[in-house]
A and B are shown apart, each in its own frame.
Chain A
Amino acid sequence: MKAWKILVAAAVLGMASASTAALAARTDIVVGVVLEPPHLDPTAGAAAAIDEVVYANVFEGLTRITDRGEVAPALAESWTVSDDGKVYTFKLHTGVKFHDGTDFGADDVKFTLDRARAADSTNANKGIFEVIDTVEAVDPATVKVTLKHSEGLFLYNMGLGDAVIVAPESAAGNKEKPVGTGPFKFQNWARGSSITLVKADGYWGDPVALDRIEFRVIPDAAAAVPALLSGDVQAFPNAPVGDALDQLKADPDLKVVIGTTEGETLLSINNKKPPFDKLAVRQAIASAIDRKAVIDAASNGLGQPIGSHMSPSNPAYVDLTGVYPHDIEKAKAYLKEAGLENGFSATLKLPPVAYARDGGQVIASELREIGINLEIIPVEWADWLSKVFTDKDYDLTIVSHTEANDIDIYSRPGYYFQYENPQFNKLMQELSVTDDEAKRKDILVEAQKILAHDVPAVFLFELPKIGVWNAKVEGMWENSPIQANDMTKVKWAD
């Protein structure tokens, strides 16, 4: 080889390597999560931890929920709805493959929906499929879903993690080795430690920037903070920061983003248990509580106060925090009206989450001022779910209801609030069959007002989302309209 050729070759090689070095931004990321998912099948479990790993990354539904909480097309590229709102015809994307190489088509949609509503289904959100009457695979790219009655939230519900499309070939193994159609495929799960996803070849949709995502389980605030500071973890979408928020904010390599969730945090009341069956008692409790003090203690002062069961980021939200302002004298007057001017004793059961345990202390001391003595009983989640939620064996409890669009829980028969209001139930009935947006909003505003005045629970605050990530990471969700870590738009800035 002549000298000049070597020179040119060397120059070309040098340029090539230099340019790749300059262009190649990082394509891997370690994301911290607090809870390890019990398994990885979002259609067979309620744990938010499952969706936080696989939603939009591994699994996709007919529709999807965007970072603004809106419905967008996903595996269905478009759809039409019949005039009576009962028949949805979905046109599916073609050329889509599952990660195991099998083709995606109308049969998979039919399989998924029929499986979720079957008698032996263990779908945690089975209720949303009950409205479905029949599912018909018209041709490989067309699915016709007929509903029993029109359902305003149907398209939204089809975008939830519970409704992602799975294949008959792989559904049984999804708990341990999830097979979906998303841009990332499952690679490895080191139990107790981390779950790794890698870019899937031949993804049908918009290409993703990341090659590798590791979700690392870090359950403890004391461990999460040094993990972020040392750079071991580059993003923590729901960071358990404890008191270290200012320390993280002060680090120039990190970005701290306070966002919203759909978590209405409530002081739930057992509405059938005396004396809480008296409206005046509930009004007294509502008036005795200073939301700001609770927010300061329970959420680093970051939660937004709410006056009814609706997230402030929802278009139908109305500010009703002024219905029962913090007023001790008024609270005492309400108690007198109920014939309980000498106060009474009750229990407050607190699940093992910081907002409940910390907020509970403040609420107990505030209620003591008007003569209500609360005995605080800390309980575990399992205990809470069986005793409080299922058996309704409680007086008061604090919990965050993190589902979106869940105002109808106050009309559910046998729900743990034990609240019954025929007028409210009628509104919810109306809401479920209304799909006109303006009309839905009117109904929702009306419903919020009823709840705010009736105090089936004291509405405390909207749970904040504290996201911390490397300042060079772009595309993380700032808010949590649903509990998911959609990584499809995430990339490293150069």
Chain B
Amino acid sequence: MTAYLLKRLAIGLVTLVAASVVVFAVLEIVPGDPARLMLGMNATPDAVAALREQLGLDQPVLWRYLAWAGGLLTLDFGRSYTYSSPVIDLIAERTAVSLPLALIALLLTTAIAIPVGLFAAARRGRATDAVAMGLSQLGVAVPNFWFALLLVYVFAVWLRLVPAGGFPGWSAGAWPALKALVLPAVALALPQAAILARVTRSALLEVLGEDYIRTARAKGLPRSYVLRRHALRNALIPVLTIIGLQFAFLLAGTIIIENVFYLPGLGRLVFQAITQRDLIVVEGVVMLLVAVVVLVNLLVDLSYALVDPRLRART
């Protein structure tokens, strides 16, 4: 178990270092001068040169990489070119929106998907299974920005139950903040739930074909008991893998939903930073996301050990 863990950790660290090189190199190649972009079309060349010097963009590439990577080790992500505030502060502000949103969406996803998957697998081939899977097909196919807009028009414009968008900040109180996250979380969760329900169903069906299930049924255990105790537990590994991937996606891959609800999340921060060539912010956020993915994968690996005693016993 310890060796397994150490190996996973080492792979994670190598991934992080490789990512830092790739991210930095790619952003070096992308055309566009941050200083010119900030000063616009009327700027005189010497004003642009002065700003480049202020931002440190006149330094050699290698030196800039080392300064930046060195800073990362001490959690110093540098200062945003455009916002001129520390990158770590920007990331913290956005995470305060993105992390709760991702968690709520993930919770909703699992709460919908696991029962639907179980239900469909138990009634395999029957009409109810077809209906459940048909609905999940629809959930995957519906564009999520369209679904999000539908929610906005029904619940914000028509019923006026929740705001049409925006985020009041946690300082405005937990309830108004949560209220602002309800619709985006639902819009995010639906397609994810549809995917997860299908994965759950097919994982269950595979397990249900195993000999030990027949044995369990043969010794007289009730169908529902076998489904929950024997089948679901063994089907959890692919399900957990997908949940891990979905969390990483929900944390920053939600730019479209963030735009529809104009939420100040990580996705919009990185998108805005790319278009404004605020390279240091892009680098910081991408590194953070790489770290999150590495961490989530590590946790998923660990949770395999929890559901699978054989992995726990191995040392």
Contact = CB atoms under 8 A, between A and B. Distances in A.
A, B in one complex: yes
A222 B256 CA distance: 11
A385 B33 contact: yes
A126 B93 contact: no
B238 interface: no
Contacts of A193: 166-167, 169, 262-264
A377 interface: no
Interface in A340-389: 352, 380-383, 385-387, 389
B277 A38 contact: no
Interface in B24-79: 30-34, 36-44, 46-47, 50-51, 53-54
Contact of B166 (A119, A127, A175, A216): A216
A223 B259 contact: yes
Interface string A372-416: 000000001111011101100000000001010000000000000
Interface residues of A, number: 46
Given A126-B47, A222-B145, A226-B152, A175 B84 contact: yes
A192 interface: yes
A125 B93 CA distance: 32
A223 B39 contact: no
Nearest to A32: B262
A121 B164 contact: no
A381 B40 CA distance: 10
Contacts of B93: 190-192
A126 B46 contact: yes
Interface string B219-236: 000000000000000000
A386 B259 contact: no
A232 B32 contact: no
B143 to A, nearest CB: 12
Given A45-B39, A190-B264, A403-B42, A122 B165 contact: no
Contact of A223 (B30, B164, B272, B278): B164
A38 B276 contact: yes
Contacts of A352: 275
A443 interface: no
A191 B157 contact: no
A46 B153 contact: no
A273 B265 CA distance: 44
A216 B262 CA distance: 9
A485 interface: no
A220 B259 contact: yes
B165 A232 contact: yes
Contacts of B43: 46, 124-126
A45 B277 CA distance: 14
Contacts of B54: 120, 122
Interface string A119-159: 11111111100000000000000000000000000000000
Contacts of A386: 31-33, 36-37
A433 interface: no
A194 interface: yes
A36 interface: yes
A192 B169 contact: no
B238 to A, nearest CB: 35
Interface in A175-208: 175-176, 190-194
A423 interface: no
Given A123-B47, A192-B94, A387-B31, A223 B38 contact: no
B82 interface: yes
A151 B268 CA distance: 44
A56 interface: no
B186 to A, nearest CB: 16
A120 B275 contact: no
Given A125-B42, A385-B33, A389-B41, A218 B165 contact: yes
B164 A380 contact: no
A217 interface: yes
B149 interface: yes
A493 to B, nearest CB: 23
Interface string B266-299: 0011001001111000000000000000000000
Given A176-B85, A220-B260, A226-B152, A191 B32 contact: no
Interface in B162-215: 163-167, 169
B156 interface: yes
23 contacts: A38-B38, A45-B40, A119-B50, A120-B53, A121-B50, A124-B40, A126-B43, A190-B169, A190-B264, A191-B93, A192-B93, A192-B264, A192-B269, A193-B166, A216-B166, A216-B262, A219-B259, A219-B268, A232-B163, A232-B165, A382-B31, A385-B32, A389-B36
The 6 closest A-B pairs by CB, nearest first: A46-B40, A192-B264, A382-B32, A38-B82, A193-B264, A226-B164
